[in-house]
Amino acid sequence: MSKKTSAEAVCVVTGAAGFVGSHLCERLLGLGCRVMGVDNFFSGRWENLTPFRDHPRFSFLERSVTEPGLLREIAAEHGPLACVFHLAAIVSVPYSVDHPEETWAVNYQSTIGLLQEAGRLGCARFVFAGSAAEYGDDARLPLRESYAGDQTSWLSPYGEAKYRSSRAVAACGDGPRGVALRCFNIFGPRQDPSSPYSGVISRFAEMAVRGEALTIFGDGHQSRDFVYVSDVVDAYCRAAGLVASAPEVPAGIYNVGSGTRTTILELARMILSLTERGESIRFYAERPGDIRHSVACIDAIQAVMAWRPRVSLEEGLRETLRWMQSQGA
């Protein structure tokens, strides 16, 4: 895809009604692209489409990514496809444990089907939403892209399906140029705190806004790598060649994170401070299966895409809290 965007460029975003997918659609429209959003609302929300669903360059198709011929149908109606951003997935790790076959069909087999179909249609780029779960319980920190392999001990079908998909996307030699982004703990507006699939920040933010005690499982010294949603969207756009100032991106797998570890206790205290509340935290027994520490090595994406996280944790938390308050949480 040319780095110069055009109103003729058709970008498909699966999972368009999701937290990250909706932000990506909005950014692509701002870049001048025509956007076809796809979602079956398994975990996506119609409200996430509200800011742009009436945009003249946005179209939407309520469909499952497991249905064959999806991209062919879109291309027949809307014209050649410039890029497929494949974000649709079963995103709950516990759900994947209880429903491994469904997870494999949605998170792996649909990826392979879309990748092959994109190739047949002459689509130039395919950008896939990978996950830090691809690293399993690897204790080597920071986590480098090479650490995930066939020997990895995955903690769930979700992690393995994401890994297999990332590998397939990056290795697609005769199809679209494939890039997989292994995103760490994404946060920001539109992340539904009431969803069982939601992250710790949205849950903490909702509790704090409501004046409730924040709940921590374990001692709070476990750590994560939090990255703001606008920075993640920027990585997607760079991976697709849509940022004029960015270098050409080769096929591959790239971590997307802040590169900084934050403990859950530090996070809780920061949110309580931003909401001007005293320390109101309840500790419960550690949940089995939770990873103790996680942080991304972001050397590769910085070198290849000239990408770096621009929104600090505190700034991102302020924006998230403002949004949460606007929702009447």
**Confidence (pLDDT) at 227:** 98
Domain range for residue 135? 10-186+226-258+293-310
With CA atoms as reference, report the closest residue to 151 among 140, 142, 160.
160
Q: Quick check: is 315 in a domain? A: no
**Confidence (pLDDT) at 287:** 79
User: What single DSSP character describes residue 238?
Assistant: H
Q: Quick check: is 161 in a domain? A: yes
Contact criterion met (CB below 8 Å) for 258 and 313: yes
**Confidence (pLDDT) at 15:** 99
How far apart, in whole angstroms, are the C-alpha atoms of residue 24 and residue 22?
5
User: What single DSSP character describes residue 246?
Assistant: S
How far apart, in whole angstroms, are the C-alpha atoms of residue 214 and residue 226?
18
Residue with structure tokens 């179209």? 59
- Domains held by the chain: number: 1
How far apart, in whole angstroms, are the C-alpha atoms of residue 202 and residue 274?
14
Using DSSP, state whether 211 is helix, strand or coil: coil
Q: Quick check: is 93 in a domain? A: yes
Q: Quick check: is 178 in a domain? A: yes
CATH number of residue 158's parent domain: 3.40.50.720
With CA atoms as reference, report the closest residue to 66 among 20, 116, 108.
108
Q: Quick check: is 271 in a domain? A: no
**Confidence (pLDDT) at 169:** 98
Q: Quick check: is 98 in a domain? A: yes
**Confidence (pLDDT) at 8:** 72
Q: Quick check: is 321 in a domain? A: no
How far apart, in whole angstroms, are the C-alpha atoms of residue 44 and residue 66?
16
Query: pLDDT digit of tens for each residue in the chain (329 aa)?
Result: 444 444 577 999 999 999 999 999 999 999 999 999 999 999 999 999 999 999 999 999 999 999 999 999 999 999 999 999 999 999 988 899 999 999 999 999 999 999 999 999 999 999 999 999 999 999 999 999 999 999 999 999 999 999 999 999 999 877 899 999 999 999 999 998 877 557 899 999 999 999 999 999 999 999 999 999 999 999 999 999 999 888 999 999 999 999 999 999 999 999 999 999 877 999 999 877 788 999 999 999 999 999 999 999 999 999 999 999 998 76
Using DSSP, state whether 4 is helix, strand or coil: coil
How far apart, in whole angstroms, are the C-alpha atoms of residue 241 and residue 238?
5
Q: Quick check: is 298 in a domain? A: yes
